Amino acid sequence: MSAPESETPRTVVPPRGGLMHVVDAAGYSLHGLRRLWAETAARLEILGAFVVALAFLWRGVEPWHWLIAGVLAGLVLAVEAINTAIEVLTDRVSPEWSQMAKDAKDLGSLAVGLMLVVFAGFFATVMTGLL
């Protein structure tokens, strides 16, 4: 019987240079995107961005509104990815309950929450016609 994937010994491969480094980095990013997609919060945030896009279409907002909304949606997902990384690492180094692990996870969650508040505030301001 084989060991679970998390217990399979792995070797560290030295990074390749030149264009292959860029190709490898793109592959790592795609793996990260696949991992992020496994998070319910990330899927809900993408759904929220889609709802914002539909509302913007309905309202006929200015092109710069689209630009800022796209940047904010990207930032929300980036912070969500960092939060997920913090949670994964915290679970790895501190599988038992600890106040420091809880603080790390809570602070990551706060960062995502603050980004969502900023995005929601921008959305509400645009939709009410204040911007």
Instruction: Give me the pLDDT at residue 54, please.
Output: 98
Q: Using the predicted structure, report yes or no on whether residue 4 has a pLDDT greater than 80.
A: no
The predicted-structure confidence for 12-58, as pLDDT tens digits, reads as follows 888 898 999 999 999 999 999 999 999 999 999 999 999 999 999 99
Active-site choice (7, 45, 80, 87): 80
| pLDDT at residue 13, rounded to an integer | 84
Cα 24 to Cα 34, 63, 81, 113, distances in angstroms:
15, 34, 19, 32
How far is Cα 76 from Cα 118, in angstroms, rounded to an integer? 9
pLDDT at 2 over 80: no
Q: Which of 124, 123, 91 is nearest to 105 (CA)?
A: 91
Cα of first residue to Cα of last residue in the chain, in angstroms, is: 62
87 given a catalytic annotation: no
Which residue has better confidence, 47 or 2?
Answer: 47
The pLDDT score that the predictor gives to residue 57 is 98
Instruction: Please give the C-alpha separations between residue 25 and each of 3, 19, 52, 76, in angstroms, as whole numbers.
Output: 28, 10, 31, 21
What is the CATH code for 62-131?
A: 1.10.287.3610
pTM of this prediction exceeds 0.75:
yes
pLDDT above 80: residue 1: no
pLDDT in tens, 51-109: 999 999 999 999 999 999 999 999 999 999 999 999 999 999 999 999 999 999 999 99
